[in-house]
């Protein structure tokens, strides 16, 4: 199933938990520099679209396009791998929380580079040392996440393909955007079905893995095991969990 088709299936309740996190938006918008025209690829419902610039969105899922608020940037039905725009037609292209859904991330990133003078991508380092060991939800409850990332280009390969540098993105403890890692200091949120439905990882792992992980987390929260294992997190206001900006 393509990423667009996946969101036609799971995207109907996206805005219940997913919205712009202002501190991450500030980092993305700063990386856009003085770009006046911006292409937002894998734009979804419009989170992180910068105000005060001329934005065009690209989004393959009709279910996601239908949830864009009135007054949001105009949105074209297309995919990252085949952008219907001329070379260098935007000052910048951005992509937030979407590259992991693209069937061919390298081709998509090269397309962003082709149509824009600058590229800003918010994504994660899916390596063992990055995201998978740093984030307790994967490390202790969802080792199957490794199957989702097997065979995908590494963050370094993605950066190399477009000549990007990488910048860490810290996740605030009270992150407003309910993406997968958002509740790292609020573990009980992962017990909430509505929180899980806003994150594609759960759907991709399937109900068997999901139920096992949720029951196991619930037991560890009840017994104090989670608190014991993650003592060091409680004092942090923001965490380095392997999330990154790629910036050209
Ligand atoms: C997790 S959502 C992120 C949406 C938005 N950028 C945000 O930050 O809320 C991922 C989006 O990527 C889109 N997508 C999936 N495959 C894509 C592709 N090949 N090209 C562009 N977008 C794609 C999905 O339809 C979905 O709307």
CA dist list (Å): 106 to 118, 126, 162? 16, 15, 8
Q: Which among 101, 111, 201 is the best mutation to test ligand 1's pocket, defined by most ligand atoms within 8 Å of the CB?
A: 101
Q: Tens of pLDDT along 44-69?
A: 999 999 999 999 999 999 999 999 99
Q: Tens of pLDDT along 137-147?
A: 999 999 999 99
In the predicted structure, residue 110 carries a pLDDT above the cut 90:
yes
In the predicted structure, residue 228 carries a pLDDT above the cut 80:
yes
- Band of residue 221 on the pLDDT scale cut at 50, 70, 90: very high
Q: Which residues contact 235 (CB under 8 A, 6 or more apart)?
A: none
In the predicted structure, residue 10 carries a pLDDT above the cut 90:
no
| 184: exposed, middle or buried (Cβ count in 10 Å: 0-12, 13-18, 19+) | buried
CA distance 98 to 76: 16
State whether the beta carbon of 18 lies less than 6 angstroms from ligand 1.
Answer: yes
In percent, the amount of the chain with pLDDT more than 70 equals 100
- Band of residue 152 on the pLDDT scale cut at 50, 70, 90: very high
- Band of residue 39 on the pLDDT scale cut at 50, 70, 90: very high
Question: Which pLDDT value is given to residue 72?
Answer: 94
Question: Which pLDDT value is given to residue 148?
Answer: 92
Task: Report the separation in Å between the CA atom of 218 and the middle of ligand 1, taken as the mean of its atom positions.
Answer: 30
Q: Which among 2, 3, 178 is the best mutation to test ligand 1's pocket, defined by most ligand atoms within 8 Å of the CB?
A: 3
In the predicted structure, residue 178 carries a pLDDT above the cut 90:
yes
pTM for the predicted model, two decimal places = 0.96
Question: Which pLDDT value is given to residue 130?
Answer: 77
């Amino acid at each position: 199933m393509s990423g667009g088709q996946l969101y036609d299936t799971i995207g109907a309740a996206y805005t219940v938990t997913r919205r712009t996190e202002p501190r991450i938006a500030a980092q993305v918008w700063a990386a856009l520099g003085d770009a006046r025209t911006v292409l937002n690829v894998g734009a979804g419902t419009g989170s992180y679209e910068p105000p005060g610039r001329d934005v065009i969105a690209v989004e393959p899922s009709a279910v996601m396009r239908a949830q864009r608020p009135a007054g949001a940037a105009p949105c074209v039905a297309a995919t990252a791998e085949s952008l219907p725009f001329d070379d260098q037609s935007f000052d910048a292209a951005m992509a937030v929380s979407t590259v992991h859904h693209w069937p061919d991330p390298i081709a998509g990133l090269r397309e962003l580079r082709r149509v824009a003078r600058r590229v800003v991508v918010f994504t994660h380092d899916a390596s063992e040392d990055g995201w998978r060991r740093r984030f307790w939800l994967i490390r202790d409850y969802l080792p199957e996440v490794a199957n989702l990332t097997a065979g995908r280009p590494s963050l370094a390969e993605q950066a190399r393909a477009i000549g990007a540098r990488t910048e860490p993105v810290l996740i605030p403890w009270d992150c407003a955007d309910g993406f997968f890692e958002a509740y790292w200091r609020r573990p009980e949120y992962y017990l909430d079905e509505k929180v899980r439905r806003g994150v594609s990882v759960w759907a991709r792992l399937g109900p068997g893995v999901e139920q096992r992980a949720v029951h196991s987390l619930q037991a560890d929260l009840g017994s104090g095991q989670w608190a014991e294992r993650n003592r060091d997190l409680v004092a942090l206001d923001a965490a380095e969990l392997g999330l990154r900006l790629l910036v050209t």
